Amino acid sequence: MNNITDDNYLKAIYHLGLTTNEKLVSPTMLANELLITSPSVLEKIKSLIAKKYITYSKKKGITLTKAGKDMAVNVVRRHRIWETYLHKHLGFNWDEVHAAAEDLEHVRNEKLIDKIFEVLGHPEFDPHGDPIPNKQGVFPKSVRRALSASVMGCKIIIVGVTEHSDAFLKYLSDIDLNLNDKLVVIKIIEFDGSIQLKGRNNGIIQVSKIIADKIMVRCEKENCRCK
Binding residues for DNA (CB under 7 A): 3, 5-6, 26-28, 35-40, 42-44, 47, 58-59
Alpha-carbon distance of 144 to 217, in angstroms, equals 5
Alpha-carbon distance of 14 to 96, in angstroms, equals 23
Smallest gap from residue 5 Cβ to its own copies (A): 12
Cβ-based nearer residue to its own copies, 108 or 221: 108
Alpha-carbon distance of 166 to 57, in angstroms, equals 35
91 in contact with its own copies (CB under 8 A): yes
34 in contact with its own copies (CB under 8 A): no
Reported as half-sphere exposure (CB side, CA atoms, 13 A), residue 201 has a value of 1
Among 3, 5, 109, 165, binds its own copies (CB under 8 A): 109
Cβ-based nearer residue to DNA, 3 or 208: 3
104 in contact with its own copies (CB under 8 A): yes
Distances (CA, A) of 52 to 10, 56, 69, 87, 119: 12, 11, 11, 35, 35
- What residue 90 binds from its own copies, DNA, none (CB within 5 to 8 A, per partner kind)? its own copies
Looking at residue 149, the DSSP 8-state letter turns out to be G
Looking at residue 20, the DSSP 8-state letter turns out to be S
Cβ-based nearer residue to DNA, 6 or 130: 6
Q: Which of 119, 48, 34, 106 is nearest to 77 (CA)?
A: 106
Reported as half-sphere exposure (CB side, CA atoms, 13 A), residue 67 has a value of 9
Between residue 112 and residue 151, which ones bind its own copies under the rule CB under 8 A?
112, 115-116, 119
Do the bridges between strand 54-57 and strand 194-198 make them parallel or antiparallel, or are there none, so unpaired?
Answer: unpaired
Cβ-based nearer residue to its own copies, 86 or 183: 86
Residues at the contact surface with its own copies, assessed by CB under 8 A: 1, 4, 86, 90-92, 96, 99-100, 103-104, 106-109, 111-112, 115-116, 119
